[in-house]
């Protein structure tokens, strides 16, 4: 074998690239995040105060939820530009039903989610028919901008202040309950890892209890640390809990199930996936359905936080921020590479920049310059990792 000689000939730089290209993609993002936090903290110690971190998590919740949906679409090698406006449409539907028509909140939420999925289903069917997703969702975005005018009442705004709808975002889970949830989460994860450990032992595979203890300790640290920081004010904000639950479900299905393998296979090589008997088109449709549900949830959380829906809901930088978050977090635009963690990590990076810029009272230009630069650098890193070499025209 020539493997040994190949490895020896590699430079340290290319070895780092190779390592980072293999599933350790969260590490560069965490490094970038640490740098951003260090820079802003050196300018203002209020940046890493409990109050500001809690604030930050509320600010990024909408972007993170939408980015999660976008990750599913990027993983199958498609793109979406319409989901931010769709989130506005779904929020308008939910607020209209709950506030103006007086329907129970759960019904309104269910209808909004179903509407979001129905709209992305139509888009997905056109895409699997053969029209590029860029065009379908670009056209879809414009159509949805019209649709939100139809859905909103004549005054083009629904106020949800003082209603049960507003409680979605303003509810805070008491500290005690939050700690119990964190403990339950840790316990469930540890038990699952232990179950996997026993499964592996039963086949005589090489394994050690470290594969249970280390991940469980990591999850415990993140959950309890998060709860400790975020309950300093009033309790754990509901949007944070929503994001956490959605990430948990997405993690299970993308990494532990047959669906997950097929999702990555379709993004990696459609031809090969098709030959292996995977229903490629159906997988694309599933991704868009998930995006539709995420968009609806993101829209409702946002409307609840802004205390209303208007024509500008879902407009502005939300769409680009969600795509940028997914990509900055390490999900490839070319499909098949990335993880659901990129949604939350990328949203944290982008949110941390805008939060810091506002905290320091810097001008909006600075925020745009910084966010744009981080996005381009992140895609450049993705290109290098996908290519496996620092310079163009070489492959490892």
Triad 74, 383, 374: Cα angle to 5°: 80
Residue 224 engages another protein in binding (rule: CB under 8 A): no
Backbone angles phi, psi at 110, to 5 degrees: -65, -40
Nearest residue to 315 via CA among 115, 139, 81 = 81
With CB under 8 A as the contact rule, which of the stretches 94-102, 144-152, 265-273, 372-380 interacts with another protein? 265-273
Give the residue with the Cβ less far from another protein, 17 or 219.
Answer: 17
Q: Cα separation of 38 and 384, whole Å?
A: 26
Q: Which residues pair with 173 in a beta bridge?
A: 236
**Which of 2, 11, 42, 363 is close enough to bind another protein by CB under 8 A?**
2
Q: Cα separation of 231 and 224, whole Å?
A: 10
**Which of 202, 210, 365, 393 is close enough to bind another protein by CB under 8 A?**
202
Closest approach of another protein to the CB of residue 71, in Å? 14
**Which of 37, 41, 252, 368 is close enough to bind another protein by CB under 8 A?**
252
Nearest residue to 251 via CA among 281, 222, 210, 275 = 222
Residue 210 engages another protein in binding (rule: CB under 8 A): no
Residues 290-309 that bind another protein (CB under 8 A): none
Query: How many residues of this chain bind another protein (CB under 8 A)?
Result: 38
Site string for another protein, 60-99 (x = CB under 8 A): ----------------------------------------
**Which of 47, 72, 165, 264 is close enough to bind another protein by CB under 8 A?**
264
Triad 392, 269, 332: Cα angle to 5°: 50
**Which of 16, 49, 269, 333 is close enough to bind another protein by CB under 8 A?**
269
Residues 158-197 that bind another protein (CB under 8 A): 196
With CB under 8 A as the contact rule, which of the stretches 15-23, 217-225, 306-314, 365-373 interacts with another protein? 15-23
Residue 139 engages another protein in binding (rule: CB under 8 A): no
Q: Cα separation of 57 and 172, whole Å?
A: 13
User: Left (φ > 0), alpha (ψ -120 to 50) or beta: where does 253 sit?
Assistant: alpha
Residue 44 engages another protein in binding (rule: CB under 8 A): no
Residues contacting residue 357 through CB under 8 Å, at least 6 positions apart: 364, 366, 367, 370
Task: Give SS3 for 360.
Answer: coil
Q: Cα separation of 256 and 262, whole Å?
A: 11
Residue 12 engages another protein in binding (rule: CB under 8 A): no
Nearest residue to 233 via CA among 111, 53, 391, 376 = 53
Give the residue with the Cβ less far from another protein, 1 or 150.
Answer: 1
Q: Rule CB under 8 A: which residues touch another protein? A: 1-3, 18, 21-23, 196, 199-200, 202-205, 252-253, 256-261, 264-265, 267-269, 271-273, 275-278, 336-337, 388, 396
């Amino acid at each position: 074998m020539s493997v040994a000689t190949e490895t020896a000939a590699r430079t340290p730089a290319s070895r780092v690239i190779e390592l980072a290209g293999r599933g350790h993609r969260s590490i560069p993002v965490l490094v970038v995040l640490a740098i951003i936090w260090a820079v802003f903290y050196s300018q203002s110690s209020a940046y890493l105060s409990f109050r500001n971190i809690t604030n930050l998590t509320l600010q990024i919740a909408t972007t993170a939820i939408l980015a999660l949906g976008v990750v599913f679409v990027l993983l199958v090698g498609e793109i979406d530009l319409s989901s931010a406006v769709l989130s506005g449409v779904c929020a308008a539907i939910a607020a209209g039903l709950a506030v103006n028509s007086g329907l129970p909140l759960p019904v309104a939420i269910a209808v909004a989610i179903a509407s979001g999925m129905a709209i992305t289903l139509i888009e997905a069917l056109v895409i699997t028919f053969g029209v590029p997703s860029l065009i379908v969702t670009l056209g879809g975005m414009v159509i949805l901008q019209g649709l939100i005018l139809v859905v909103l009442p004549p005054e083009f705004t629904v106020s949800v202040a003082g209603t049960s709808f507003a409680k979605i975002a303003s509810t805070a889970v008491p500290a005690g309950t939050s700690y119990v949830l964190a403990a339950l989460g840790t316990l469930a994860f540890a038990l699952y890892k232990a179950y996997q450990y026993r499964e592996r032992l039963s086949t005589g595979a090489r394994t050690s209890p470290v594969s249970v203890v280390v991940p469980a300790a990591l999850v415990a640290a993140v959950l309890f640390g998060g709860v400790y920081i975020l309950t300093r004010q009033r309790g754990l904000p509901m949007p944070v809990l929503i994001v956490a639950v959605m990430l948990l479900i997405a993690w299970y299905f993308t990494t532990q199930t047959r669906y997950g393998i097929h999702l990555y296979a379709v993004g990696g090589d459609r031809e090969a996936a098709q030959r292996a008997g995977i229903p490629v088109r159906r997988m694309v449709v599933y991704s868009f359905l998930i995006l539709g549900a995420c968009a609806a949830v993101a829209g409702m959380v946002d409307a609840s936080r802004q205390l209303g829906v208007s024509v500008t809901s879902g407009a502005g930088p939300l769409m680009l921020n969600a795509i940028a978050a997914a990509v900055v977090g390490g999900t490839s635009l070319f499909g098949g590479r990335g993880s659901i963690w990129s949604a939350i990590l990328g949203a944290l990076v982008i949110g941390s920049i805008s939060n810091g810029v506002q905290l320091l009272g810097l001008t909006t230009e600075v925020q745009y310059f910084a966010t744009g630069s981080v996005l381009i650098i992140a895609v450049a890193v993705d290109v290098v990792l996908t290519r496996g070499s620092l310079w163009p025209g070489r492959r490892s």
